[in-house]
Amino acid sequence: MKKSIGWIGTGVMGRWMAHHVLPLASQLYVHNRSPHKTLELVEEGAIALASPAEVGAKASLIFTIVGHPADVEEVYFGPNGLFRTIKAGTILVDMSTTKPSLALKIAQEAKARDCYSLDAPVSGGDVGARLGKLSIMVGGEESTYNQILPYFAKMGKSTLQGPNGSGQHTKMCNQIVIAGTMIGVTEALLYSERALLDQKRLIETISQGAAGCWTLDNLAPRVLQNDFDPGFMVDHFVKDMQIALEECRRMGITLPGLTLVEQLYRTLQEAGEGSLGTQGLLLALRRINSN
């Protein structure tokens, strides 16, 4: 039997993820704090609601994907949040990238209300969301995960990493790798600019060897077209790196590479470029080397 599904957060990625699960819903209820971002889903048959609490009252399975930990707090615990209205047995799936401690807080509150929760952050950007090829990193109970597998399968490939919070810890590892990869790719592009190489040929060549990676295949070609539109915004990436660095301090470890990349990205924010895509790191490097 199809479930009534709620979807909160219909931005660059959430809009496509909701689109993919729509056929599995008896009814899809959507909410975004910018209502115009729900219009395309409404045209496909979804019903737009005015608050997370309204979604909680209607749906038995609720997905959330919003920007910052404070947004997640508001969606779940705020005056018009989900925990105001959800019924026993509701399954909550937070696909935002947020703090592991917040994933545990949601899980504890859900259990107290005889509900279930998964933290399930994703990687793959706007392209992965549109094509249904995201990598989904899940924390929670296996029995709950197994119930949600058909929905995850519509959005990409999922793996259960461990108990609640493990999905968010895995996403932090993912972002640490991306930070290192992004600085490598953008430094190579800057070097190739100065060396007057054919950059298209360069990307085609080195992507076939040990340097091959998702960033080189998907974001480097955008840079060559001077396309810095976001598949994933600088502001959101800085938020993720800051969460990872906070976790590092808690665990008593130092990651110099991550620290450097976070500082470089913050210079983009300071220049008013936080809404660019993460490939915008090249702009920061160009400024450093402008003399």
Q: Which of 135, 163, 191 is the last residue of a domain?
A: 163
Identify the CATH number of the domain in which residue 141 sits: 3.40.50.720
Task: Give the whole-angstrom CA distance, residue 115 versus residue 112.
Answer: 7
The percentage of residues in the chain with a pLDDT greater than 70, rounded to a whole number, is 100
pTM of structure: 0.92
pLDDT category at 1 given cuts 50, 70, 90 is confident
Q: Which helix or strand (DSSP H or E) is residue 214 part of?
A: helix 214-218
What's the CA dihedral at 260, 265, 269, 273 to 10 degrees?
160
Catalytic residue among 3, 99, 105, 171: 171
Overall average pLDDT of the 152-162 stretch: 98
- Which range marks the domain in which residue 254 is found? 169-288
Is 105 among the catalytic positions? no
258, 282: one domain: yes
157, 184: one domain: no
34, 76: one domain: yes
What per-residue confidence (pLDDT) applies to 126? 85
Whether residue 291 is predicted with pLDDT greater than 70 in this model: the reply is no
115, 243: one domain: no
Number of domains in the chain: 2
For 90, phi then psi, to 5°, come to -65, 140
